[in-house]
Amino acid sequence: MITLKSFVGGEWQEGSGEPAVLVNPSTEEPLAQTSTEGVDFAGAVRHAREVGGPALRAMTLGERASLLKAMSKALLEHRDELLDMSMRNGGNTKSDAKFDVDGAGGALAAYAHLGKGLGDSKIMRDGDGVSLARDGSWWGQHVLLPKEGVAVLINAFNFPAWGFGEKAACALLAGVPVIVKPATSTALVTWRMVEVLDQAGILPPGSVQLVAGSPGDLLSHLREQDVLAFTGSADTGLYLRSRDDILSRNVTVNIEADSLNSAILAPGVPADSDTYGLFLKDLFREMTQKAGQKCTAIRRIFVAEEDMERVAGDLVGRLADVTVGNTADPEVRMGPVSTARQLADNRAGIEALAAAGTVATGGSDPLDGVGAPEGRGYYVRPTLIRVDDARSSDVVHTHEVFGPVASIMPYDGTPDDAAELVARGQGSLVASAYGDDPDWAGGMIAGLGAWNGRLYLGSSGVAGSAMGSGAAFPYLLHGGPGRAGNGEELGGLSGVRLYQRRCALQGDPAVLDRILGGTESE
Ligand code: NAP
Q: What was the pLDDT predicted at 511?
A: 94
**Is 370 within 8 Å of 93 (Cβ atoms)?**
no
Q: Whose CA is nearest to atom 39 of ligand 1?
A: 256
Q: What was the pLDDT predicted at 520?
A: 43
Q: What was the pLDDT predicted at 117?
A: 87
Q: What was the pLDDT predicted at 120?
A: 84
Task: Compute the distance from residue 473 Cα to the ligand 1 centre, in Å.
Answer: 21
Q: What are phi and psi of 221, to 5 degrees?
A: -95, 0
Task: Compute the distance from residue 86 Cα to the ligand 1 centre, in Å.
Answer: 18
- List residues bridging with 13 in a β-sheet: 6
The catalytically annotated residue of 166, 170, 286, 295 is 295
- Residue 15 is classified by DSSP as -
Q: Whose CA is nearest to atom 45 of ligand 1?
A: 183
- List residues bridging with 428 in a β-sheet: 452
Catalytic residue check, 488: no
Ligand 1 atom with least separation from CA of 240: 19
**Is 64 within 8 Å of 172 (Cβ atoms)?**
yes
Ligand 1 atom with least separation from CA of 484: 41
Q: Whose CA is nearest to atom 26 of ligand 1?
A: 156
**CB under 6 Å to ligand 1: residues?**
154-159, 181, 183-185, 213-215, 231-233, 236, 239, 256-259, 295, 400, 402, 429, 484-485
Separation between Cα atoms, residue 124 and residue 483, nearest integer Å = 32
Task: Compute the distance from residue 154 Cα to the ligand 1 centre, in Å.
Answer: 7
Q: What was the pLDDT predicted at 521?
A: 40
Q: Whose CA is nearest to atom 38 of ligand 1?
A: 295
Task: Compute the distance from residue 157 Cα to the ligand 1 centre, in Å.
Answer: 7
Ligand 1 atom with least separation from CA of 259: 34
Phi-psi region of 247 (alpha: psi -120 to 50; beta: other; left: phi over 0): alpha
Separation between Cα atoms, residue 427 and residue 420, nearest integer Å = 12
The catalytically annotated residue of 256, 286, 400, 489 is 256
Task: Compute the distance from residue 235 Cα to the ligand 1 centre, in Å.
Answer: 9
- Give the strand pairing for 6-8 and 20-24: unpaired
Q: What was the pLDDT predicted at 77?
A: 98
Q: Whose CA is nearest to atom 21 of ligand 1?
A: 215
Q: Whose CA is nearest to atom 17 of ligand 1?
A: 236
What 3-state class would DSSP assign to 128? coil
Q: What was the pLDDT predicted at 519?
A: 43
Catalytic residue check, 256: yes
Query: Quick one: which of 216, 217, 158, 208 has its CA closest to 183?
Result: 158
Separation between Cα atoms, residue 201 and residue 447, nearest integer Å = 50
Q: Whose CA is nearest to atom 32 of ligand 1?
A: 233
Task: Compute the distance from residue 236 Cα to the ligand 1 centre, in Å.
Answer: 7
Separation between Cα atoms, residue 269 and residue 282, nearest integer Å = 15
Q: What was the pLDDT predicted at 149?
A: 98
Query: Quick one: which of 233, 519, 168 has its CA closest to 399?
Result: 233
Phi-psi region of 250 (alpha: psi -120 to 50; beta: other; left: phi over 0): left
Q: Which of 89, 152, 233 to mutate to test the pocket of ligand 1 (most atoms within 8 A of CB)?
A: 233
What is the DSSP annotation of 292-354? G--TTSEEEEEEEGGGHHHHHHHHHHHHTTPPBB-TTSTT-SB---SSHHHHHHHHHHHHHHH
Q: Which of 155, 236, 339 to mutate to test the pocket of ligand 1 (most atoms within 8 A of CB)?
A: 236
Ligand 1 atom with least separation from CA of 480: 41
Ligand 1 atom with least separation from CA of 181: 9
How many Cα atoms sit within 13 Å of 494 on the Cβ side? 11
Q: What was the pLDDT predicted at 522?
A: 40
Task: Compute the distance from residue 413 Cα to the ligand 1 centre, in Å.
Answer: 36
- Give the strand pairing for 405-411 and 383-386: parallel
How many Cα atoms sit within 13 Å of 480 on the Cβ side? 30
Task: Compute the distance from residue 60 Cα to the ligand 1 centre, in Å.
Answer: 33
- Per-residue confidence of the chain (522 residues) as pLDDT tens digits? 899 999 999 999 999 989 999 999 999 999 999 999 999 999 999 999 999 999 999 999 999 999 999 999 999 999 999 999 999 999 999 999 999 999 999 999 999 999 998 878 899 999 999 999 999 999 999 999 999 999 999 999 999 999 999 999 999 999 999 999 999 999 999 999 999 999 999 999 999 999 999 999 999 999 999 999 999 999 999 999 999 999 999 999 999 999 999 999 999 999 999 999 999 999 999 999 999 999 999 999 999 999 999 999 999 999 999 999 999 999 999 999 999 999 999 999 999 999 999 999 999 999 999 999 999 999 999 999 999 999 998 999 999 999 999 999 999 999 999 999 999 999 999 999 999 999 999 999 988 999 999 999 999 999 999 999 999 999 999 999 999 999 999 999 999 999 999 999 999 999 999 888 754 444
For residue 405, give every residue at least 6 positions away whose Cβ sits within 8 Å of its Cβ, in sequence order, or none. Answer: 287, 292, 299, 346, 349, 350, 353, 362, 380, 382, 383, 384, 385
